[in-house]
Amino acid sequence: MVSALGKGLSALIEDITPDENFSGYNILIKNISPNKHQPRQKFNKEDMDALILSIKTKGILQPLTVRQLQTNNYELIAGERRLRAAKHLKLKHVPAYIIKIKNDAEMMELALIENIQRVNLNPIEEAEGYLILREKYNYNQKLIAENVGKSRSEIANKMRLLSLPNKVIDGLNQNKISYAHARTLIAINNDKLLIKVYKQILIKKLNVRQTEKIVKRLNAVKLRAGKNRDTINLFKYEKKLNEKLNVPIKIVASNDDFHGKISIRFQSQKELDRLINLIIEE
């Protein structure tokens, strides 16, 4: 299944026996239930308006993808935006491919792939999708990367966004800052200082390069402040721990003497048990 998912939905659709009239089926919209694994939580109004206009004038050119639950009862796999647009236009039917899905993990994978390949997910929504694959379906970063067609480092970077303060996460969700800004801010290990830099980005409208210079300067000062601090690279250790434990890690060190704390974020009892087992085994 990994090779097919890595290529996207088309790799699965090729194996479908099409209806003799066209390469899919016409399905009543009322018979399609939403995808409970839909990673996208926000839909850009301008993009939706453009899609509605396109469907109104040209129809749905790319069929939706569904799986059959019962006779005349289907669950959406991919095509949330197209389905919403069709409902807005009060259409009765939509063209759709029907494919077989083994389990809910594949549903989540395909929903992620469809969104990533068609209209980019918000980075936080994408990270939360990866988190579900990891926590609910026990996927490690390597397996997630293979299935969604991205590098392991990209998966790790996206998931590290979840360790940012809520205020910054909200700003990223609202497009106040870019993904590149957020990635740069992750390197700041003090949340209060991170928030200050975040506010400066908004007030002064700093670009990514300007933000990188500020963060680099701040980290250079911190490295010189304590004993042997010039030999310590907290960001490097955070990355190593993140790759090993597969969770957001935050290392905070003092400025007066070299001591601090390691913060490990977990989302459930199951995740906590997994982390404890990993640490004890090591």
Read off the pLDDT of residues 7-46 as tens digits, 9 standing for 90 and up.
444 444 433 333 333 346 888 999 998 877 665 666 677 7
In the chain, which residues fall in CATH 1.10.10?
A: 164-281
Q: How far is CA 83 from CA 61, 71, 113, 182, 203, in A?
A: 12, 20, 17, 32, 39
d(CA 107, CA 87) in angstroms, rounded, equals 22
In the chain, which residues fall in CATH 3.90.1530.10?
A: 2-121
d(CA 183, CA 161) in angstroms, rounded, equals 7
pLDDT value for 222: 59
Domain 164-281's class?
Answer: mainly alpha
Confidence band for 247, pLDDT divided at 50, 70 and 90: confident
Enumerate long-range contacts of 132-135, CB under 8 Å, 24 or more apart: 132/37, 132/39, 132/108, 133/105, 133/108, 133/109, 134/159, 134/246, 135/267, 135/268, 135/270, 135/271
pLDDT value for 245: 80
Q: Check if the beta carbon of residue 98 is closer than 8 Å to that of residue 25.
A: yes
| 147 Cβ contact list (under 8 Å, min separation 6) | 2, 5, 6, 109, 113, 133, 139
pLDDT value for 41: 61
CATH architecture of the domain with residue range 2-121: Alpha-Beta Complex (3.90)
d(CA 46, CA 148) in angstroms, rounded, equals 27
pLDDT value for 12: 40
SS3 of the chain: helix, strand, coil, percent, to 5: 55, 10, 30
Highest mean pLDDT among 102-111, 124-133, 165-174: 165-174
Confidence band for 197, pLDDT divided at 50, 70 and 90: very high
The count of other CB atoms within 10 Å of the CB of residue 3 is: 9
Residues recognised as catalytic: 80
Residue 178 in this model has a pLDDT that exceeds 70:
yes
Looking from the CA of 21 toward its CB, the CA atoms found within 13 Å total: 5
Residue 156 in this model has a pLDDT that exceeds 50:
yes
β-sheet bridge partners, residue 92: none
Average pLDDT over residues 116-127: 72
Three-state SS at 115: helix
Its pTM stands at 0.55
Residue 231 in this model has a pLDDT that exceeds 60:
no
Helix locations, 138-226, DSSP H: 141-148, 152-160, 166-173, 179-185, 191-204, 208-225
Q: Which two tokens stand for residue 156?
A: 């790790």
